[in-house]
Amino acid sequence: MQALLKFLMALDENLKRKDMTWQEAALCELEEKRIYEECYPETRHGENQYTRGVAESATPNPRYTQAKAQAINRSERVIQEDIQLAKAIEEKPEEFEKIKTKQQALKIIKKKESHIAQAIAANQEIVESAQLDER
């Protein structure tokens, strides 16, 4: 675990560099989150002190985004957006390599999410209509 924490500190130093692209910074943020959650598994989404066997009296560690936001005095939402962007980059790197700003990339992701939500809503209407027809 000591080696992971040292690597985490090195990643944090890389995030402070000014010459990183927004893509590189987002990917470093995601890697830092993964290492943090490896060191503190109870902080993973869906985990808690009961599912991971941490004693009830133990002081729980904050989730990664909360701890990072406090450490660097930034909003937790900004950290969450960086992680969301990094996951999107990992999924389809070619789609994000030419995008110049983080804000443009976030707009693309939000637009995709909106299309998905509309498709789900349309599908739900079809299912409900079919159920009514069956009656």
User: What is the domain partition of the chain in residue ranges?
Assistant: 2-96
The amino acid sitting at 103 is Q
Query: pTM to 2 decimals?
Result: 0.72
Count how many residues are written for the chain. 135
Cα–chain center distance at 67? 14
The answer to whether the Cα torsion of 44, 50, 54, 60 is positive or negative is positive
Rounded to whole angstroms, how far apart are CA atoms 113 and 96?
16
Per-residue pLDDT tens for 62-75?
A: 889 998 888 888 89
pLDDT of amino acid 57 = 44
Comparing 56 with 36, the larger pLDDT belongs to: 36
Per-residue pLDDT tens for 76-111?
A: 999 999 999 999 999 999 999 899 999 999 999 989
Other beta carbons within 10 Å of 30: 19
pLDDT of amino acid 49 = 54
pLDDT of amino acid 91 = 94
Q: Region 29-48: what's the mean pLDDT?
A: 84
Q: Mean pLDDT across the chain, nearest whole number? A: 82
Q: What is the DSSP letter of 63?
A: P
Q: With a cut of 50, say whether residue 20 has pLDDT above it.
A: yes
Cα–chain center distance at 135? 43
